Structure 1
């Protein structure tokens, strides 16, 4: 689910906290090496970018995102950590003119599902990779496998009816189908496309109140609430409050989730 403010929420909540378990899975799958030059697609406030930079100490990492505020925070965090082999650019991976064959590895933590033209985007990323360069990305599996999406949409639909599903916004599940993704990547010049299931919880905050604040920032939630009359919006918020309270555990508000780690190589040999 895309959040309106990306990684910018401080404290115990926020995007990085939500995806802490997923981040560890992606880090292991990426296997960044000491001399790698890495491209981080949809980097947000740069947690994955900075982690890659700490490993690729003799290489470099470029994080790109379309959000200027997120990138400003990413630069500040990188400066505070003393990282000198990392840079951030405001760019759309679909059309940005990357240096050809510059990177050994392209990574993304839920940053590739929102391309208007995924075929063009992955072809562009492929051209930026060296021959046999690797792509490692994490994307959501089907919505019915993600309890957070099922729960949020049911809460909204109970108060809003069909209005809850009327958004024409970005689809966080656009890369959920392995067959479709395999066809896109092969068409973009990638080979050895593989999928690994990721079954980890998402974290929405230490209590139901914090979780509600976080969920209200999701694109589908905010857009739906904005279309409703005040009474219906209030019912939807109460529905969400109750559902989030039901998912409160000793470790905070958590929901079951499923994702894919998708790996591939650019065709060619080193």
Structure 2
């Protein structure tokens, strides 16, 4: 894969334009089913008005971009992501759904040349945990917001004591790529988040834990097949039948009402320029 010149987070660009991005694009509906329960609290925190210009960071297949655009019918929403496969899916779904004020660009939010003060709000649903330099990235996002502009994002919280933590505990130790400062849990510590945003120049930073039901599959075997395909799990734990069997057993207690339902936990972060 050839990485565009305006992307500095090359390791993530390679992942999201390879297996990781293709898996998310091919299973966008599955990932949305896992994460949709958090959408309302995120969009309410962003306080999007009818005329607002909204920036969606790590937009993936564009679900939040489209929802933000609908909340701003006289404004617009721009989704930015590293992943060409996911952006192709986002554009296709946006055309299908008829959301003319939602647009998409491929880029690295850490260095992307956003116009100064071009947005009223920036949002992200689990798309800001992978920056190579988070202070630089959020500084770039701050520059793109108008004075008083709002930042609201969701980050994965620590799985300790959660339903997902119970599943992970059943399949072995969580690898560093899942738990460390370079992976999906990199923004799970509120103190670290506050330090990053303070250094990036944001004010009125707040963090709180939020909860939502997450649908992982129609039954334990289906949920196991899906979770085993998630990039960090597949990369660190392999893709063998033993892993899938272990995940299936761990998911079985969460089967109810025709689906596997886990109580999900996330960190909701708000700040202002």
TM bucket normalised to smaller = 0.7 to 0.9
Shift of 1:115: 0.7
**What secondary structure is seen at the aligned counterpart in 1 of 2:56?**
strand
1:68 to 84, 87, 96: 84
Corresponding position of 2:26: 8
Shift of 1:145: 4.0
1:156 to 171, 174, 192: 171
Shift of 1:150: 4.0
1:218-257 alignment, distance < 5 Å: 218-226=230-238, 233-257=240-264
- 1:35 and 1:222, CA in 2 relative to 1: closer, same or farther beyond 3 A? same
**What secondary structure is seen at the aligned counterpart in 1 of 2:160?**
helix
2:98 to 54, 70, 82: 82
2:185 to 173, 184, 187: 173
Unmatched runs of 5 consecutive residues or more in structure 1: none
Aligned length: 252
2:265 to 240, 243, 258: 258
How far apart in 1 are the matches of 2:214 and 2:107? 28
1:22 correspondence with 2:29: no
**Is the 2:218–2:259 contact (alpha carbons within 8 Å) kept by the matching residues of 1?**
yes
TM normalised by structure 1 equals 0.86
Shift of 1:176: 1.3
**Is the 2:219–2:258 contact (alpha carbons within 8 Å) kept by the matching residues of 1?**
no
How far apart in 1 are the matches of 2:71 and 2:170? 42
1:195 correspondence with 2:195: no
**Is the 1:156–1:221 contact (alpha carbons within 8 Å) kept by the matching residues of 2?**
no
Deviations 1:134-165, CA, capped at 9 Å, x for gaps = 0000112223143214412x2332xxxx6x62
Unmatched runs of 5 consecutive residues or more in structure 2: 1-15
Larger relative CO (CA 8 A, sep 6+): 1 or 2? Answer: 1
**What secondary structure is seen at the aligned counterpart in 1 of 2:44?**
helix
How far apart in 2 are the matches of 1:18 and 1:253? 10
Shift of 1:197: 1.9
- 1:235 and 1:243, CA in 2 relative to 1: closer, same or farther beyond 3 A? same
How far apart in 2 are the matches of 1:82 and 1:166? 41
- 1:251 and 1:260, CA in 2 relative to 1: closer, same or farther beyond 3 A? farther
- 1:199 and 1:37, CA in 2 relative to 1: closer, same or farther beyond 3 A? same
Corresponding position of 1:96: 112
Corresponding position of 1:207: 219
How far apart in 2 are the matches of 1:87 and 1:125? 17
How far apart in 2 are the matches of 1:258 and 1:83? 30
1:42 correspondence with 2:64: no
**Is the 1:107–1:135 contact (alpha carbons within 8 Å) kept by the matching residues of 2?**
yes
Shift of 1:23: 1.5
The farther-off stretch of 255-264 and 142-151 is: 142-151
Deviations 1:171-215, CA, capped at 9 Å, x for gaps = 211111111111111111100001222022221011122211210
- 1:145 and 1:125, CA in 2 relative to 1: closer, same or farther beyond 3 A? farther
